[in-house]
Chain A
Amino acid sequence: MSIALNGVRKAFNGTPVLSIDRLEIPKGAQWIITGASGSGKTTFLNLVSGILTPDAGTITVGGTEITRLSEASRDRFRAEKIGVVFQTFNLLQGFSALDNVLLGMLFAGRVDAGRADALLERVGLKEKRDQNPDALSVGQQQRVAIARALANKPEILLADEPTGNLDPKTGESIIGLLKEVCGENGTTLLCVTHQPQVMQSFKDVTDLSCLSGK
């Protein structure tokens, strides 16, 4: 699924955060999005996923201009087409690894326990399916988050500093896993990071500081 941003502007409380005249990301690409602190990296992901709407400009994802959709339609679009991985994992405490993956399916209306099990097996956590997040290592928690992000066969996977809370070795394996699973399914991967070792493993790196002229 391709992504196109045209004339996108976003400000918070009158302070400009992001300004992109034109950016096109082809279907199946694996891109690093980087930039200095405050360059709008997380805002960029939130705009692409429809969590935020731009003050100006259009965002088209897979031919759908999401900036024209109602909030409920954007929520549905996000549930069905976009997977998200966070720096802090954002797993729901009190829910098992399996439940967290099923939760990702629930809001798209596609609860499938068999697929959730298969995803946990794919990320190497078959034996941990019934464990709660607090019983898992940080690396395992991020793997659960990846399985959850893949729950609805997303066409785009957005990863916001996915290795930010991990040691280098674990981070490397997580990035490897993200690239691998996205590659297997032709999923477009946008990975926000400021870590050089992560950037080195990607061919395409886009610096938002340059794009926004900051």
Chain B
Amino acid sequence: MSLWKIVLKNIVQRKLSSTLTAASIGLGVAVVIAVLAIRAQTQEGFRQSAFGVELIVGPKQLSPLQLVLNTVYHLETSPGNIPWSRYRELAAHKGVAVAVPISVGDSLRGARIVGTTEAFFNAFNLAIDGRSFRFDPARLELAMAGKESSGAFEAVVGSRAAAQTGLRLGDTFQASHGVDNVGEQHAEKWTVVGILKPSGTPNDRAIFINLDSFYEIQDHRQSSGISAVLLKTRSLASGDLLKYDLNQLPDCMAANPAAVMAEFFSKFDWIPLLFLAVASLVVVMAAVSIFVAIYNSMSERRRPIAIMRALGARRATVLSIVMMEATALCAFGVAGGLVLGHLLTAVAGSFLTSRSGIPFSPFAVQPEELAVLAGVLLLGALAGVLPALKAYRSDIADGLSPSS
């Protein structure tokens, strides 16, 4: 026999009320935990997957956000080009460590097709099962000039794109024009020579083809423009200077993806805050419901409390029992909310991963989570203060009288 046993008996005796009260706490906690986890992991995911790309150079008619979403996250569309000559200038620039050209605009069953060079995989540390495609710069120049050429049509498929399209090593496919799955199918056939190992980045959702083959497509021939150039610079200072210089040019712009995404998230930071406010309100209301549930039961507890007092329980002991009950109800809710919150994160994370390629760890504990749990438990204990004081002040003789 212990005070906790008395507390648990009290909770079990009021099953329905206890369950509903703990459930309301649990729901509030679950939403708070899911919002915290999704917010933190989304921001971290976008920040990390942009890592490595220090500057993106693209056409002036795009907004920096469009450019970043299109080139790094394979979202949005890219309605413009920059001249191939700009890539060659950038590749030769002394402040540039790596320059990777990309061209986009086609897709296969919802997976974006990105024309690029082998440098892409090396620059962003992407491991391949199989091998990389072969890029032939001479063939590219010929194709861009509209001259006859021949060479490989090869593809390296992102892990998620492979699962989505069913492509395996050795398979062939025909790309469709456009990214919305309704464009005409191109006549050319690519062979899958590699599958990317899962990288936890948006690249998992894309299909990469050798850039020279991209310009072999009938509709793309005689085009001398590419969608963008991804850059790694030799130093932060050289990157800033390069960005400034590029933004002065009439036909292109440069954007720092980390800065663009930070600015993007700062604009929408009120959304998770709103969720947190609503969830906090739910938790506070649940704490009030703990108070109401226990306070309303105080009249039926008069006799048990008086019996315990007659058996020698001190006022402080009955006060503790009531506060422990409020805390225990809250703890049950918190425990349930913790599990439910992470399950919610798993469901929402899986949806977001399928849409953005950002990886989610549904059971990763956020630092704020512990503070939230401690805060909610404290709130639960506080909800028990008034009923506990009522128990503390109760009169033994009155509680034992036959009318009680």
* B310 and A84 within 8 A (CB): yes
Query: Which one of B95-103, B301-309, B366-374, B376-384 is at the A interface?
Result: B301-309
Cα separation A91 to B316 with both chains bound (whole Å): 21
What is the CB-to-nearest-CB distance from B339 to chain A, in angstroms, rounded to a whole number? Answer: 28
Query: Which one of B144-152, B229-237, B395-403 is at the A interface?
Result: B395-403
> Is B94 close to A, CB under 8 A?
no
What is the CB-to-nearest-CB distance from B7 to chain A, in angstroms, rounded to a whole number? Answer: 12
> Is A86 close to B, CB under 8 A?
yes
- List residues of B whose CB falls within 8 A of some A CB: 1-3, 5-6, 9, 12-13, 303-304, 307-317, 396-397, 400, 402
| Contact pick for A76, options B2, B314, B396, B397, CB 8 Å | B314
Cα separation A49 to B400 with both chains bound (whole Å): 14
> Is A155 close to B, CB under 8 A?
no
| Contact pick for A99, options B1, B309, B313, CB 8 Å | B1
What is the CB-to-nearest-CB distance from B17 to chain A, in angstroms, rounded to a whole number? Answer: 14
* B312 and A71 within 8 A (CB): no
* B309 and A94 within 8 A (CB): no
Cα separation A90 to B306 with both chains bound (whole Å): 9
* A75 and B313 within 8 A (CB): yes
> Is A79 close to B, CB under 8 A?
yes
Q: Which residues of A contact B315 (CB under 8 A)?
A: 71-72, 75
List 9 A–B pairs whose Cβ atoms lie within 8 Å, in order of A's numbering: A75-B315, A76-B312, A78-B311, A79-B312, A90-B303, A90-B310, A93-B13, A103-B1, A103-B311
* A90 and B397 within 8 A (CB): no
Q: Which residues of B contact A92 (CB under 8 A)?
A: 304, 307-308
* B13 and A94 within 8 A (CB): yes
> Is A104 close to B, CB under 8 A?
yes
Closest partner residue, chain B, to A160 (CB atom): B400
Cα separation A49 to B396 with both chains bound (whole Å): 12
Q: Which residues of A contact B310 (CB under 8 A)?
A: 49, 51, 78, 84, 86, 90
Cα separation A202 to B13 with both chains bound (whole Å): 41
Q: Which residues of B contact A88 (CB under 8 A)?
A: 402
Given that A46-B397, A90-B303 are contacting pairs, would A84 and B311 also be in contact in the complex, using a CB cutoff of 8 Å?
A: yes
* B12 and A107 within 8 A (CB): no
* B312 and A52 within 8 A (CB): no
* A107 and B397 within 8 A (CB): no
What is the CB-to-nearest-CB distance from B5 to chain A, in angstroms, rounded to a whole number? Answer: 7
Q: Which of A90, A95, A104, A111 is the most central at the interface, judged by chain B CB atoms within 10 Å of its CB?
A: A90
Which residues of chain A from 125 to 167 have any CB-CB distance to chain B below 8 Å in the complex?
Answer: 148
Cα separation A178 to B5 with both chains bound (whole Å): 29
> Is A3 close to B, CB under 8 A?
no
Q: Which residues of B contact A49 (CB under 8 A)?
A: 310
* A72 and B402 within 8 A (CB): no
> Is A106 close to B, CB under 8 A?
yes
Closest partner residue, chain B, to A103 (CB atom): B1
* A111 and B400 within 8 A (CB): no
* B311 and A79 within 8 A (CB): yes
Q: Which residues of B contact A93 (CB under 8 A)?
A: 13, 304
Given that A51-B396, A52-B397, A88-B402 are contacting pairs, would A75 and B309 also be in contact in the complex, using a CB cutoff of 8 Å?
A: yes
| Contact pick for A80, options B2, B3, B312, B397, CB 8 Å | B312
Given that A76-B314, A90-B400 are contacting pairs, would A107 and B9 also be in contact in the complex, using a CB cutoff of 8 Å?
A: no
Cα separation A106 to B313 with both chains bound (whole Å): 8
Given that A71-B315, A111-B1 are contacting pairs, would A94 and B9 also be in contact in the complex, using a CB cutoff of 8 Å?
A: yes
Q: Which residues of A contact B317 (CB under 8 A)?
A: 107
Q: Which residues of A contact B308 (CB under 8 A)?
A: 92, 103, 107
Closest partner residue, chain A, to B5 (CB atom): A99
| Contact pick for B311, options A46, A94, A95, A104, CB 8 Å | A104
* B400 and A107 within 8 A (CB): no
Q: Which residues of B contact A51 (CB under 8 A)?
A: 309-310, 396-397
Q: Which of B309, B311, B317, B400 is the most central at the interface, judged by chain A CB atoms within 10 Å of its CB?
A: B311
Which residues of chain A from 65 to 103 have any CB-CB distance to chain B below 8 Å in the complex?
Answer: 71-72, 75-76, 78-80, 84, 86, 88, 90-95, 99, 102-103
> Is A25 close to B, CB under 8 A?
no
